[in-house]
Amino acid sequence: MKGWRSGWWALALAACGGPPADLPTAERDSLARAGSAHAEWRSYGGTYDEQRHSRLKQIDTGNVSRLGVAWTYDLKTGRGVEATPIVADGVMYVTSAWSVLHALDAKTGRELWVHDPQVDRAVGAKACCDVVNRGVAIRDGVVFLGVLDGRLQALDARTGKLLWSVMTVDPSKPYTITGAPRVVKDMVLIGNGGAELGVRGYLSAYDVKTGALRWRFYTVPNPRKAPDGAASDDALARIANPTWGDRGAWIRDGGGGTVWDSIVYDEVNDQVIFGVGNGSPWNADVRDPGGGDNLFLSSIVAVDADTGAYRWHYQTTPRDHWDYTATQTIILADLPLGEGGRPRRVVMQAPKNGFFYVLDARTGAFLSGTPFVPQTWTTGLDAKGRPIEVKAARYARDLVLVSPGPLGAHNWQPMAFNPGTGLVYIPAQEVPQAMRADALFASRPVAWNTGMDFAAGLTPELPPGALKALRAGMKGRLIAWDPVRRAPRWTVEHEGPWNGGVLSTAGGLVFQGKLNGELVAYDAVSGRRLWGMNLKAGVAAPPVTYMVDGEQYVAVATGWGSAFALAAGFAFDPAVPPAVGRVVAFRLDAKGTVPDPPLEPIDATPKAPAFGDAKLVAAGMVHYARNCAVCHGQLAISSGVLPDLRWSPIAADPASWAEVVLKGALRDRGMVSFARYLTPADAEAVRAYVLHQAHRAPS
């Protein structure tokens, strides 16, 4: 009877484009195996399989040109927005910066309630890549929110009332949460971030009703290689511990391996599969001198859904040295890769290191790995899927240009899979990085501890044309990748890197937002551009689609930030103007508009004369690169997310500068004191460098 019901629902869905609004939760969950979202968008990747593909096809290749703005909603933030809107029972739940959650009428955009978890703004200093949040999970009228400061909260979906809240991390350490929770059975799963600053990663499962911890899986060894009393104890003792040495910064800085994004539930095999992040520090020679592969860094790991017990792993980058996380989108699908071309359930990922991987979902067996962007760090993979490294790419004291760089060939922006075309749509990029070991490295609390020199290759006086050359080497594209033939079907080149996540639909469409503010619809088969609209703010977040009262909507959150936006302001000319993030929803024949950004333009002029000799300015450049660049931009050029220090009136006055930099006068805005890292003389050298860059800006 159960099989008959499932088959009946499949036929009904094919006919009407989505399940009835009153379909029981259990029935909705069983349909998740199909991999495609329906009239609602109830989970981060659309369904358990996280294919980000919708069966809705009211909007298709023939009528997408009629898309218009149905409504907009102001998220009231100028910081990064990376949220996937969740749509359930006619309500959209979308997060903005500082983990603020907004509940909206999905048809009109009317605000229903707002939950602000009141994050201490000083916690922003712990966030490697802006104070972003990627979304929520929902189950049985309860919304689950991961908060930047490490809390996991459960809220009444109708009212926003807080039901329970648990701290999932040690708040004395630089942990953060930016990823979306996942609900699996009667548990809510959440990871964390912070490996740039120095933490030990893990994935935790909590009871959906009480918030009680059910299990935890650590991804790297206990510093003493002792048991934790956790689900990971056996796997660490047998598999991971022998791949780490007994000395190095990892013992003090945790080793890294944070699970900061991808988590999927493989319902067929009743397992949770998740991606593990980079090492802490990045530099393996500092992290673990003389050690081995450092499992489970940069790995895809599968564990039993009920207990968290280890099932299998595959390491994409052994002994990670470049911040090559494996936390990027994990997609489950059935591909004709079995014996005789029969369907085989697989795991697909395109992580930072530039290879597209296909693994057997049940065993983790390596099936294929193919470069999808140019690389300089390897010459390929061996028969077992292990990278064949270019020796020079493992940087030490000599400067090495590495591609992909730490921003990756594909970062957090989700890719999508269309089971009809058989194609994976990847928001890919090329962002090379000059890398060199940091000769001054020493672990510092609540500061970036990578072991890599961020001033590598830079001088206060760049050669003529250097900035233009840097920009020319940075590329972005949308790739339609055939995972069976292991090659691109088509490619669309973008103006630059760091574009938005992707949505696929049964209407034959692929939607992607771009850094320049456009939302674009492409033909899923050919890549031909069919429609686009300027949303007046950069888009990094992925779109979703849903149906209300018989009409299909496409929605996306705007407002860009995160790693590239903070660190790579030099990539933009003219500078990216500040903008307020919004949710913008579209439907056929709607006539709305996107309002202009309400922020005043920046007075981009120096506020004080340049000062200091070449030696002082050079010293300031090094201190700036080590302490400021990851938030305020390399070369002291901001991208509009955080203040451009070159134009700040604070830089004009040494006393005001010292109050902010050394005494934390702007702590309530996330600018904490750097007195433990910078002397007064160091801080003044940084000011000299900032003003030097301000006066050089016109040239």
Instruction: Catalogue the active-site residues.
Output: 323
What Cα–Cα distance (Å) separates residue 233 from each residue in 191, 223, 294, 463? 18, 13, 16, 53
CA quadruple 32, 412, 135, 154: dihedral, nearest 10: 90
CA 376 to chain centre: 23
Cα separation, 500 vs 511, in Å, equals: 9
Tokens of 667: 């702590």
Q: Is 216 helix (H, G, I), strand (E, B) or coil?
A: strand
Cα separation, 289 vs 281, in Å, equals: 12
- Buried-exposed string 349-374: b where 16+ CB fall within 10 A, e elsewhere: bbbbbbbbbbbbbbebebbbbbbbbe
**Bridge partners, 130 (sequence order):** 128
Judge whether 682 and 676 are in contact, CB under 8 Å: no
Q: If we measure between CA atoms, which residue out of 152, 163, 156 comes closest to residue 140?
A: 156
Cα separation, 376 vs 27, in Å, equals: 48
Judge whether 228 and 154 are in contact, CB under 8 Å: no
Tokens of 448: 């970036």
Strand 423-430's sheet: what is its strand order?
416-418, 423-430, 475-482, 487-494
Q: Is 144 helix (H, G, I), strand (E, B) or coil?
A: strand
CA 148 to chain centre: 14
Judge whether 75 and 532 are in contact, CB under 8 Å: no
Cα separation, 18 vs 550, in Å, equals: 10
DSSP string, 382-435: -TTS-EEE-GGGS-SSS-EEESS-TT-SS-SSPPEEETTTTEEEEEEEE--EEE
What Cα–Cα distance (Å) separates residue 437 from each residue in 322, 450, 564? 11, 9, 21
Tokens of 427: 């928001």
What Cα–Cα distance (Å) separates residue 356 from each residue in 21, 264, 315? 37, 18, 13
| Those residues with Cβ within 8 angstroms of residue 146's Cβ, 6 or more apart along the chain or in another chain | 99, 133, 152, 168, 177, 178, 179, 180, 181, 190
Cα separation, 99 vs 150, in Å, equals: 11
- What percent helix, strand, coil does the chain show, rounded to 5? 20, 30, 50
CA 90 to chain centre: 27
